[in-house]
Structure 1
Amino acid sequence: MNDFSSHWTRRDLMNLAGTAAIGGLGVSRLGMAQDAGTLPPLNRFPRMVQEYYVAKVRGWEARLLEKKNALSTKAEAEAYVKDVRERIAKAFAPMPKVKTPLNAKVTGTLDRDTYTVEKVIFESRPKFFVTANLYLPKDRKGKVPGVVGTCGHSDNGKIAEAYQSFAQGLARMGTACLIYDPIGQGERSQYLDEDRKLIYKGTTHQHNMAGNQMELVGEFLGSWRAWDGIRALDYLLSRPEIDPRHVGVTGNSGGGTMTTWLLGVESRWTMGAPACFVTTWRRNLENELPQDNEQCPPRSMALGLDHDDYLAAMAPKPIIILAKEQDYFDARGAEETHARLKRLYGLLGAEDRVQLHIGPTTHGYSQENREAMYRFFNSVTHASDAQVEPTITVEKDPDLWCTEKGEVIPDLGSKSVFDFTKAKAERLKSAREAKPLSEAALKEAVKASLRMPERDPNSPPNARILRARGDRKYPKKAWINYAVDTEPRIQAVCTMLGEESLYSRPPQAPEGKPGRVLLWVGDRS
């Protein structure tokens, strides 16, 4: 494959396949359009791809619900939960097969009125450092419940006010909380220059940069982040203060994402509280909600997994879904997910163990949702009978740093995600060079990767003739648009340039003589 074709997108190849399949075109003089930068795009079908996938996902969801609603016995529900766990494992593969030493250390402690905060560093993978704060209640009488806290998209990670608040609130009520920095947040910035300044600013930018690179080598950022959470649980359970009968996980927004995934991939949790994330794939797509790389598990839909399925993997253990009425994560989807889980839990004889709380305000782990989480966890653990959040003392960022200056890469020499991605890319390259594919095999591999449908060269697709517009400044005096039906409900728009005006099908080649078409696949219409 040459350099030009290696940069084709699936849409480009659809354009190529569809246009070439018209067949019999005989155009003697065609030219290239002027530079795309000087010509505004002409979008003939602005909603096409969106509505194509909305229809597809609605059909997918309907088929999924039909299967779920067919469950009618406890045995069928138990079998469904087992099957869901197996499918989730496939969606999050590959995960590490071996747990390497955590090499955990405490770098400092804050002593407060009713709790302490330990500054913890551990390695979720060799030389891949995770920074965390362990909030421990004082005056403990025996072991205490423990919760792993996951963070949303806060630049300062675990130190964001809302996340300090829920971790501290739990500790003040008698439950330990280990809250850790996600990849690309807090003390774990992944892209720093020599002056310790961010190359890619913003948490979503870091996540998507890392995640998109990882996809090219068959990895999923969400799996890496879930593994950090699993190792955080390993550390929490290694502490003698923690009661292993009561270990939960909670987080908001991006932390709600990770809470949901962690409940699906790890069986040791005894309770969970995802906040401001749980809805349905359909609602997200219909609402055109942007998502980070780690929020879209590969093959999730192909494996028949909606948001409720990741929580169903916990059944019949206690779960509360925390949503917000004014959140962009659609509360209607949270209600639908809750209804599906309630039915499943009902078949398991545990309908009261799955709850839904919808706070009245906007996106965030605000006090009303934190208090709903406290009450729910306390109803399970009996650590406290408090109904409202105690007074919270918000610490300054440097006081909660685990490293000297707040960054694991320059301060500790931590590996970055890119280091791991680069190493795997080099291994894959060596493997390819050791057993190179033939040209034919490479073409088939590309075709399979792009999931290109088979086409019959003797049965060209339909081409719509679109009304021309007069505001285009092409280098030829005449042009016309054709919309080629490349697959049901999808059209590729092609522009034909020439010397004579045309409002009909393309000129036909003389019988028995092949026509010649020069095809230019551009990135703008």
Structure 2
Amino acid sequence: MKKIKYIFLVSIFALTFANAQSTSDTNFRKPVSETLKKIETTFNVTINDDRGLLKGKELDYADWRIEPGNLPLSLTNILAPFELMYFKQSDGTYIIRKYENHKVSVDKGKERLFYLESLYSTKEQWEKRKAELKACMIESFGLEKAPPMPKSKPILTAKRIYKDYSVENIALEILPGVYATGSIYKPYPFNKKSAVIITPDGHFGDGRYRKDEQYRCAMMAKMGAIVVGYDLFAWGESLLQFPEETHRNSIASTVQLLTGIRLLDYLSTVKNADMSRVGVTGGSGGGSHTMFLSAIDDRVKVSAPVVMVSSHFSGGCPCESGRGIHLCGNGTNNAEISAMMAPKPQLIVSDGKDWTLAVPELEFPFIQRTYELYGKKDLVENAHFAKEGHDFGISKRMALYPFMAKYLNLDMNKIKNEKGEIDESTCVIEPKEKLLVFGDKGEKLPKNALKDINKLYEMFGEKNLKVYEVKK
């Protein structure tokens, strides 16, 4: 009996081993790096794993996943199981990166634009899609769930008067206990109807205190506009209420968009504010919110998103892409969101050293096509700086001023010197301390100021699911 039992166990072990060996022999498992070398040879390309993301990774049926004649599908088949993706570089090589929902390669962006173009070829078809996108964006941001703006008066600091313009700082309670902070630049003397321009801040060092933002706000005020530059959520003076890490909460995007909307609500009550002439411009993350606000708020008549319009990048910060608005309409991107401004005037500013590098050949023609549906192709322009990088530098501002002047009926002569050149030198660059609303140490922060991110979520009927490590 023992002998039979022993033979039985040995037989089971042998069968199991044989099956395992058989499976191992027939599942064609091999290192992913080897299959990618085969892809390099097959398609005559170079694939670079410069971050060592493929180290130790093996895949069943690896070579079988190569699709003859289709390099993009082959790479996707191999990389997707490991949450990796590829990016095609300008020199034709391919690099391997971790999957990111907000970023794809330029060729993938191009594919998406071709698909979007297939969805509408008439103004009526586009208007229907635009309405669907707008409704979805409003829902995704949670704007309809936002509590009403408190009736408290805005906090305004003393006014500083300079040549042809003035500056005062503002704190506006946009939600119960939540204050948006910024600075208001006005023409001086302020005695006639003036256009309104708001400029959301981007992810640049020094926030709204930096020189380039002060220059553009002051210059547009000199031309005859009321201009408001304002802080990001959990950035600048907003840090007095919410710690830096909460800037990467998805609700940051909602609060930032709501800030723009409610600043316009406030400005509509200001004497001499002409709400028939409303513009918005911002760079980087501020460029994202320029597009979002222009797509959602019909009061915006002129927009100028700077270094942000892209079909393959939608912002690396949750304050831009954290609410999933790019899933609207079964998938959209910033190029299509930018096109939602049509047929109103829009200046798209791009450069050659960030994700806007392909705008002249890729995104701009796509957006022009939408304007053509209205017969208004000439109302969208592209200022491209191929040798420049990601900033709101002087050349980009020089493109902005005449565009805003043209479509908001501003006076360019107010910013020109005796030679007829646009001259920023008469603007006063204030130190950070002068641009603060709540004092050098935040001592003037209102007592009702909210400091609990969880309670902010609760205002919208949501729960904060993001957990942070407690700093010691």
- TM-score > 0.5 by shorter chain: yes
Q: CA deviation at 1:380?
A: 0.4
Q: Does residue 262 of structure 2 align to residue 231 of structure 1? A: yes
Does 1:263 find its partner at 2:294? yes
TM-fit CA distance, 1:206: 4.5
Identify unmatched segments of 5+ residues in structure 2.
1-18, 22-52, 59-77, 87-98, 414-420, 465-472
Q: Deviations over 1:245-292 (max 9, x none)?
A: 111111111211211221122221011111111111x3x39xxxx711
What is the rounded CA distance, in whole Å, between the counterparts of 1:321 and 1:133 in structure 2?
25
Using CA pairs under 8 Å that are at least 6 residues apart, name the structure with larger relative contact order, 1 or 2: 1
How far did 1:322 drift? 1.0
Contact 1:84 1:312 in 2 (8 A): no
Structure 1 residue matching 2:298: 3-state secondary structure: coil
Q: Structure 2 CA distance, aligned partners of 1:66 and 1:423?
A: 38
User: CA deviation digits over 1:87-145, x for unaligned, max 9?
Assistant: 32233235435532352131221111211112211101011111121100113452011
Alignment counterpart, residue 207 of structure 1, candidates 226, 247, 262:
247
SS at match of 2:238: coil
The 8 Å contact of residues 102 and 122 in structure 1, kept in 2 or not, is answered as no
Q: 8 Å contact 1:188–1:409 — kept in the other structure? A: no
Q: In the alignment, is the contact (CA less than 8 A) between 1:156 and 1:185 conserved in 2?
A: no
- CA distance change for structure 1 residues 169 and 297 in 2, over 3 Å: closer, same or farther? same
Is the alpha carbon distance of 1:294 and 1:43 closer, same or farther for their aligned partners in structure 2, counting shifts above 3 Å?
farther
Matched, 1:254 2:289: no
Report the CA distance between 1:183 and its aligned residue: 1.1
Displacement after TM superposition at 1:317 (Å): 0.8
Structure 1 position 313, deviation (Å): 2.3
Report the equivalent of 1:329: 355
Alignment check: 8 A CA contact 2:241 2:449 kept: no
2:176 to 126, 129, 141: 126
Secondary structure class of the residue paired with 1:66: helix
Report the CA distance between 1:43 and its aligned residue: 3.8
Match of 1:488 in 2: none
The separation in 1 between residues aligned to 2:205 and 2:448, in whole angstroms, is: 21
8 A Cα contact 1:95 1:227, kept in partner: no
* C-alpha distance after superposition, 1:478-503 (max 9, x if no partner): xxxxxxxxxxxxxxxxxxxxxxxxxx
Tell me the secondary structure at the aligned position of residue 317 of structure 1: coil
Equivalent AA in structure 1 for residue 405 of structure 2: N
Within 1, Cα distance between the matches of 2:461 and 2:258? 23
**Distance in 1 between the 2:452 and 2:351 partners?**
33
Q: Give the direction of change, closer, same or farther, for the CA distance of 1:299–1:105 in structure 2 (3 Å limit).
A: closer
Q: Is 1:390 aligned to 2:416, yes or no?
A: no
Letter in 1 for 2:276: R
Q: Secondary structure at the match of 2:358?
A: helix
Q: 1 CA distance for matches of 2:241 and 2:449?
A: 12
Q: 2:439 maps to what in 1? A: 404
Query: What does the per-residue CA deviation read over 1:60-92, in whole Å, with 9 as the maximum and x for residues that have no partner?
Result: 863653342453333333333323322322332
Q: Identify which of 85, 110, 135 aligns with 2:134.
A: 85
Cα distance in structure 1, aligned partners of 2:459 and 2:177: 16
TM-score, length-normalised on structure 2? 0.69
Cα offsets for 1:288-329 (capped at 9, x unmatched)? xx7111121433343222112222222211111111222x22
Match of 1:373 in 2: 400
- For the residue of structure 2 that corresponds to 1:189, the secondary structure is helix
Contact 2:147 2:459 in 1 (8 A): no
Could you say which residue in structure 2 is the equivalent of 1:292? 317
Cα 1:423/1:365, change in 2 over 3 Å: same
Rounded Cα–Cα distance in structure 2 between residues aligned with 1:158 and 1:340:
32
Q: Is the 8 A contact 2:171 2:437 kept in 1?
A: yes
Pair 67,418 (structure 1): closer, same or farther in 2 beyond 3 Å: closer
Partner letter of residue 149 of structure 2?
A: T
> Would you say the 8 A contact 1:226–1:258 is kept in 2?
yes
Q: Which residue of 1 aligns with 2:199?
A: 149
Query: Residues 334 and 413 from structure 1, CA distance in 2 versus in 1: closer, same or farther, beyond 3 angstroms?
Result: farther
CA 1:114 to 1:55, structure 2 compared with 1: closer, same or farther past 3 Å? Answer: closer
Distance 1:86 1:370, change over 3 A: same
Q: How many pairs does the alignment contain?
A: 367
RMSD across aligned positions (CA): 3.3
Residue identity matched to 2:202? G
Q: 2:84 aligns with which of 29, 45, 50?
A: 50
Question: In structure 2, what is the Cα distance between the partners aligned to 1:422 and 1:98?
Answer: 11
Counterpart selection for 1:316 from 335, 343, 362: 343
Assess if the C-alpha contact under 8 Å between 2:309 and 2:338 holds in 1.
no
The residue type paired with residue 440 of structure 2 is: K
Q: Distance in 2 between the 1:76 and 1:408 partners?
A: 54
Where do residues 435-446 of structure 1 align in structure 2 (5 Å cutoff)?
none
What are the equivalent positions in structure 2 for 1:374-523 lying under 5 Å apart? 374-386=401-413, 388-391=422-425, 392-405=427-440, 407=442, 412-416=447-451, 418-421=453-456, 423=458
User: CA–CA distance in 1 between the matches of 2:187 and 2:379?
Assistant: 26
- What's 1:471 paired with? none
Cα distance change of structure 1 residues 265 and 243 upon mapping to structure 2, 3 Å threshold: same
Report what 1:3 is aligned to: none
1:275-290 equivalences in 2 (<5 Å): 275-280=306-311, 282=312, 284=313
What's the secondary structure of 2:158's corresponding residue? strand
Q: Mind listing any 5+ residue stretches in structure 1 that lack a counterpart?
A: 1-23, 27-39, 193-198, 430-525
In structure 2, the CA distance between the partners of 1:92 and 1:150, relative to structure 1 (3 Å rule), is same
CA distance in 1, matches of 2:360, 2:143: 29
Deviations 1:449-472 (A, max 9, x none): xxxxxxxxxxxxxxxxxxxxxxxx
Distance change (3 Å), C-alpha of 1:168 and 1:335:
farther
Which residue in 2 is equivalent to 1:108? 158
The 3-state SS of whatever aligns with 2:384 is: strand
Cα pair distance change 1:113/1:417, threshold 3 Å: farther
Counterpart AA for 1:268: R
Aligned residue identity for 2:431: K
1:353 equivalenced with 2:379 (yes/no): yes
CA distance in 1 between counterparts of 2:303 and 2:277 reads 11
Counterpart Cα distance in 1 of 2:279 and 2:341: 11
